[in-house]
Structure 1
């Protein structure tokens, strides 16, 4: 899926209006999902007319495509934190869990939009696959490293990665798609890190 980012709008007012539309769209999509959200919903949430929306985006799908460009590099950057050298197994688990959680925390609307559009669009399905490939590839490499240390010796590294990413995705979505403000980030990251650690490094009796 190839998407070219829109050039920056020339006026401060134009940028402010687009930011208001984006913020409104994220709020509505986080509540209703992209498939149930209409342009009228977004415009109403932003306090703008539907005509204002179309000054910036050709459709809600076009809006999601532009979001996807902004989201992709950020997700990749976060995922690399767990691959830093010199980390203990527990620290690596914490960083991997935090990267996944924080991506959902800050980009929930983008993730919901792309994942739901993937159900009805081959184009978005390809992009969702690309997004998931980032953490799957990282976790596969971590499992393979763990296997060299004697952990998860008889397991399929990629299948473990796919299972963990599926669990991480569902947990983050379930926790954040409702009243996200009341969610305890630290507790959720700790829970995910413990599951991550015990799954990959399951021969160790206790976390440090």
Structure 2
């Protein structure tokens, strides 16, 4: 095998190892929680040594940041485009809510870990802030677009956007956890996303 063939193979192996560590981290975080998750346990779950872990991630925060980025990419992959928002705001908002709800369910252990640890971990706080800012920018942009059409008047786009993003985040955390308002009582995807849509669409006057 010449060098031109070896490099792609090595790259694939490297990416497979990195992905194995990420998947192992998801298992360990779901089982033990983010705070109690140990690098040695993550490496063992992946069938790797702790030394291999440090070849891919600086520390647990670096790995967790990669998991949260995967959460964002999962949302981004199915989030409507700006043109779709302009062409059909109601359908686009509904699709955006649906994307966030399902991504949050898939990454629920990671998001719980983020909520639990971010306020006491400056590095994780930056990760959380970056995720929030992406949603806030979308809501603020939509409010400004509505204001240009004589709607959402009197609303501060930035403040209102942070409130809407907070509504989305905490509602997903609350309803997916089944521990706070409705202990042990699952809420169907259809019911959850429809309720969120009804609230947000009224605020945005769609």
**Any gaps of 5 or more consecutive residues in structure 1?**
1-7
TM-score if structure 1 supplies the norm length? Answer: 0.70
Query: How far 1:168 sits from its partner (Å)?
Result: 0.6
CA RMSD of aligned residues (A): 3.6
For residue 202 of structure 2, the aligned residue among 192, 198, 202 is 198
Aligned to 1:86: 87
The worse-fitting range, judged by mean Cα deviation, of 126-135 and 26-35 is 26-35
Q: Is the Cα–Cα contact under 8 Å of residues 67 and 110 in structure 1 kept in the other structure?
A: yes
TM-superposed deviation, 1:26: 1.6
CA shift for structure 1 position 105? 2.4
Equivalent position of 1:189 in the other structure: 193
The one-character-per-residue Cα deviations of 1:121-163 (angstroms, maximum 9, x if unpaired) are: 3232222211111111111111122223332211212221111
Q: 8 Å contact 1:79–1:134 — kept in the other structure?
A: no
- Could you tell me whether the CA contact under 8 Å between 2:80 and 2:95 is conserved in 1? no
Instruction: Tell me by how many angstroms 1:118 deviates.
Output: 2.5
Aligned to 1:3: none
What is the deviation of 1:171?
1.0
Query: Which shifted more, 117-126 or 131-140?
Result: 117-126
Structure having the higher helix fraction is 2
Match of 1:164 in 2: 164
Kindly provide the CA deviation profile for residues 90-111 of structure 1, in whole angstroms up to 9, marking residues without a partner as x: 3133122113213312333443
Q: How does 1:57-72 map to 2 (within 5 A)?
A: 57=54, 59-72=59-72
Where 2:105 maps in the other structure, the secondary structure is helix
1:56 aligns with 2:60: no
Aligned to 1:5: none
Q: Is the 8 A contact 1:76 1:134 kept in 2?
A: no
- Structure 1's 117 and 76: CA in aligned 2 closer, same or farther, altered over 3 A? farther
> 1: CA distance between counterparts of 2:204 and 2:15?
45
For structure 2, the residue ranges without an aligned partner over 5 or more in a row are 1-7
Aligned residue pair count: 191
Cα-to-partner distance string for 1:4-28 (whole Å, 9 max, x where unaligned): xxxx994988876665553343234
Q: How does the TM-score come out when normalised to structure 2?
A: 0.71
> Is the contact made by 2:26 and 2:110 (CA closer than 8 Å) also made in structure 1?
yes
**8 A Cα contact 2:61 2:123, kept in partner:** no
Q: Specify the SS of the correspondent of 1:119.
A: helix
